Amino acid sequence: MKRKIIAALGIVLGIFVVLAGVKTWQIRTLIAAAQAMVPPPETVSTAVVHEEKWPDTLTAVGSISAKQGVTLSPEIAGTVSEIAFESGAVVDKGDLLVRLNTSLEEAQLRAIEAQVELARVNTDRVRQLRINNTVSQSELDTAEAALKQQQGNADAIRATIEKKTIRAPFAGQLGIRLVNLGELLDVGKPIVSVQALSPVYCDFSLPQQDLARLKTGLQVQVTSDSYPGQIFEGTLTAMNPDLDQTTRSVQLQATFENAEKRLQPGMFVRAEVVFPEEQTVLAVPSTAILSEPFGDSVYVIETNATNSTLTARQQFVHTGRTRGDFISVGSGLTAGERVVSAGLFKLHNGTRVQENNTDTPKPSMSPNPPNS
């Protein structure tokens, strides 16, 4: 009986060993097949790193301001009796804009002018009597002082009338009228904006490390989203002698003729200071740059010398200025290398790739619509 049991256990153990051996062989075969399996290459678009001559520029964000600009308001309260302008009109210096009611002042002025005339006649009479030594010098001095006092009173009323007559302080373009006929205006109540639009200024700032390169007379170009594709050219005309204590930047001002009056005060623009010399840069499409918290990188295409397959190698780079659809690379690449320009988000270091540049839009220095 014991022999039969031992024989049965032996048969079972033998079957288990055979099954374990077969399963081990199958697993090893699957592992070897998986290790031998090569994933298909990823399809990407590529571009060649090339040298270009780019203008040497410094870029900043700027704001347009008028050479002269003010919102007019009365110095003396009064009621609007006349409005002599239309919204948006172009005016010359001294043009009448608004007149406040001056009927009371004009009546007071007529009374004072009568007193001035009486004081003048009296002074002439006393002066003649003084020549004949009929009156004393003190009487003549008193008469002349009274005349001057009355003249001063008249001048004060004329000044009040003039302050109630609001004129254009300089030639420029008016904004939207903010008052109505018969309205009672308090001191400081806005009436209308007056802006001199030719020339205009562009105010912007640059960091202190660029200070040594800056000087007045350099060309400045500005662009605005309001006028896509148009470049406005001006001249750097002023630099602050002190730097901002918070940002350590220098405030700059460029002047633009603005003959067509397209640049408006308060407009946001992108400003570029253009230096006379050009720089040689390595340019790649901006889409080739993979920006991550630990740095910018590109994928360089390398050819395997053994089987001629293409692989992507991640290379960290230092980027510089952008121009159109391109960006300059300061270090990490050499001219003639090929980099992935589309499809880089599905790659990792060593991924096999294949090139397909037929369906990819070509990068341009002047894209349309322009880059914002």
Which tens digit of pLDDT belongs to each residue from 285-341? Answer: 998 899 888 889 999 998 887 777 888 889 999 988 888 888 999 888 889 999 998
Of 27-41, 99-113, 121-135, least confident by mean pLDDT is 27-41
Average pLDDT over residues 106-117: 91
* Cα 158 to Cα 71: distance, rounded to the nearest angstrom: 24
Average pLDDT over residues 32-61: 81
Of 1-15, 51-65, 178-192, least confident by mean pLDDT is 1-15
Q: Rg of the chain's alpha carbons, rounded to an integer? A: 43
In which band, very low, low, confident or very high, does the pLDDT at 232 lie, cut at 50, 70 and 90?
very high
Average pLDDT over residues 199-218: 92
| Predicted pLDDT at 179 | 92
* Cα 310 to Cα 303: distance, rounded to the nearest angstrom: 5
Asked if residue 311 lies in contact with residue 351, where contact means CB atoms within 8 angstroms, the answer is: yes
* Cα 149 to Cα 155: distance, rounded to the nearest angstrom: 10
Asked if residue 335 lies in contact with residue 50, where contact means CB atoms within 8 angstroms, the answer is: yes
Residues in the chain: 372
Closest-CA residue to 70 (of 268, 261, 265, 201): 265
Task: With a cut of 90, say whether residue 366 has pLDDT above it.
Answer: no
| Predicted pLDDT at 237 | 95
pLDDT digits (tens, 9 = 90+) for 243-284: 988 989 999 999 999 988 899 999 999 999 999 888 888 999
* Cα 150 to Cα 357: distance, rounded to the nearest angstrom: 92
- Residue 213 DSSP class: G
| Predicted pLDDT at 364 | 73
Tokens of 332: 């990490």
Task: With a cut of 90, say whether residue 357 has pLDDT above it.
Answer: no
Which domains are delineated in the chain? 42-52+280-355 (2.40.420.20), 59-66+199-279 (2.40.30.170), 74-185 (no CATH)
Asked if residue 298 lies in contact with residue 291, where contact means CB atoms within 8 angstroms, the answer is: no
Q: How far is CA 203 from CA 223, 230, 242, 244, 300, in A?
A: 13, 19, 15, 14, 41
59 SS3 class: strand
Average pLDDT over residues 224-250: 91
- Residue 332 DSSP class: S
More confident residue, 83 or 139: 83
Task: With a cut of 90, say whether residue 205 has pLDDT above it.
Answer: yes
Of 18-27, 95-104, 125-134, least confident by mean pLDDT is 18-27
| Predicted pLDDT at 169 | 92
Omega into 190 within 30° of 0, i.e. cis? no
Closest-CA residue to 301 (of 341, 268, 345, 346): 341
* Cα 115 to Cα 14: distance, rounded to the nearest angstrom: 142
Give the helix, strand, coil percentages of the chain, each rounded to 5. 30, 40, 30
pLDDT digits (tens, 9 = 90+) for 47-61: 899 998 888 888 899
Tokens of 74: 């009365």
- Residue 208 DSSP class: G
Average pLDDT over residues 147-151: 89
| Predicted pLDDT at 367 | 67
As a whole number of angstroms, the longest Cα–Cα distance in the chain is 176
